[in-house]
Structure 1
Amino acid sequence: MVPGLFPSDYLRKLPFGTKIETLSPGRCITVTSTSTVQNDPTMYKIFIVGVEITHPDLFNNGLIIIHGLQGYISQLSPFSCDVERMTSLSFPSNYDRSRNNQLSPQQHAALMRFMLRDVILRLRNSGFSVLSVALKLKYAELVSLRNVTIFALDDVSIFSGSYSYINSVRLHIVPNQFLTIADLERLPAGAPLTTLDREQSLVVTTAGGVLNKQMMRINYMSIKVADMMKNLNVIVHSLYLPFPHVTPMTATTDSMLGGEDPMSTVPVPVPPGTDEACDALDEQGKCEMRQVNHVTTHVNPHYIPEIEDHHGL
């Protein structure tokens, strides 16, 4: 039983695969239909979870509608309302990706189309609809790749102020590389990652891994969820904030900078003929106090989560 009135005429007009929630919360039926006569929209067969409605509108008093089915509907899954789980693909974690190299160009192109559509659908239903639309717009460019690594930002982050991601999506896509978090953590600091943006590359600014005992960062940004989504050809990592533009030279020389505040080493000028230890002069211009205890204060810079201090670059 489902709440609402769904006569047969209305069911025929529903898009193929429409889900309607039943009176059991979290359980949905799927409505599909097919035409029995080509080019005749009036001759339709309607199916509910694969079971044909053989007696449409068996009873209809304006308050209750009863349709007669050909058989019984199987027990509905708790994921029957979840489009993401019902339509996305799943692959074994130990899949040998070297098998992809044995495919012909035509087979690989077909596989890449399939994998891209899978990721686009899963991103759309997981709160990454902006990125999903962007991948659709760049579909012709992406489908020619062999693999792709994508760094994603969710819709909430984008509309909370990270609008720069919309104009720099190409900077967040690494073509022809399938980089898991384990692969990324093996990269040394300063290693470049070619992106779809021909004028900009990503740079590993902080090497990660167990030996380094620190979180790896790319363009000074850490990864929020590693290996968030993947299939045979596409892998997606999510971020806290968009990547800033960083040059490889900046990343290489950044670790060489001491990190001290340069103002702390600037000498303070003193009047000529006086001792640097003087804190005050007497009437004759001589030091009134020979020993002065200097107090040095250090101001800690404000900590910004997920953005590593890179000296204003």
Structure 2
Amino acid sequence: MAKSSTTMASFKPFFFFFSSLLYFSTAQSPPPPPPPQSLINAAETLSNSGYISMSLTLELIADTVISRAAKNSLTGSALTIFSPPDSSFSDFGQPSLSHILLHFSPVSISLSSLQSLPFSSKIPSLSPSSSLYVTSVSSDSRVSINNVEIVGSPIYDDGYVIVFGIEDFFTQNFTQPETNRNPNFKSSPQCIRLDPFSRFYEVSLMLKSKGYLIMSSFLELQLIGFLKNTELKLTVFAPMDDAVVGFSGDFPVYQQLFLRHLVPCVLYWTDLNEMVNGTEFKNYVNGLSLTITKVNDVSFVDGVEITYPDLYYNDWVVVHGLQSLIPLPDQIDGEMHEDPVKPEVDVSIAPDRSEF
């Protein structure tokens, strides 16, 4: 069997693993209704809660909202709506479409998430020319955005769409507040700036919608996703939740389990198809590698069939779905002896001297 070897410079991503991962691995809530139905339900709840003007407006622009959310590359399935009261519509009149879209964000943001965002954090909106900024600090009793306070808890939340009441319309062309105006701000040369939303947010949404909640949670917990100007190239081989749930209480293996499903480069499905049978890639686990093999036009990674190629991809990350976990080398050897019909997988383990 011909073999080519590709060795890549690897780096160690930062890891935060929380006990909440156990929830995702043991219980899956039923999927929310599709976005159009979510907006219909949200409009009805707004009307029943006394926000009649915003309810009618939402019914009129629902198609535009879904279209704009899709153009923002956030799958069109997550949305946060900030609703002014009817009195604001009476005083202001019917706002322009651009202005009303400022009150829609293509991310699903819970109240606790809003409370945790630092002062001056930018929140994306569907308005083409304006943005939203957090103007409250952690010590404030209420969250404010663009100097407009959020009123209480969400009016509506189905897992896709969240609706908050606010005291008035957001101001267009609001200037991002300077961080040093935050009374709690203390300058420190040791501090770094983190983005309020991880670059893994979009791929995480997609994985959750396809039943890969555990791998989605692993990606969401990576601190590197919140760092600016960080070069990152990644291929993720994502096993289904059913394959990972048996490790839900085994915290010591989480790091190795996650890392052995990554390759530090972008490998699209077309790239995998064009590779020489037996091409080997160094991955993130010291001493281990992943080998791509093919049998009758079916591609395998370390003997595991790639069942859902190109689940998600952009210019720096691609996700391929698997039905099962990528096994450790000793597991592969045992399975090959037990099942001689299974396609041969050659996994060579060479000492990793890259750190010496």
Q: 1 or 2, which has the higher helix percentage?
A: 2
TM-score (norm 1): 0.45
Q: Which has the larger radius of gyration?
A: 1
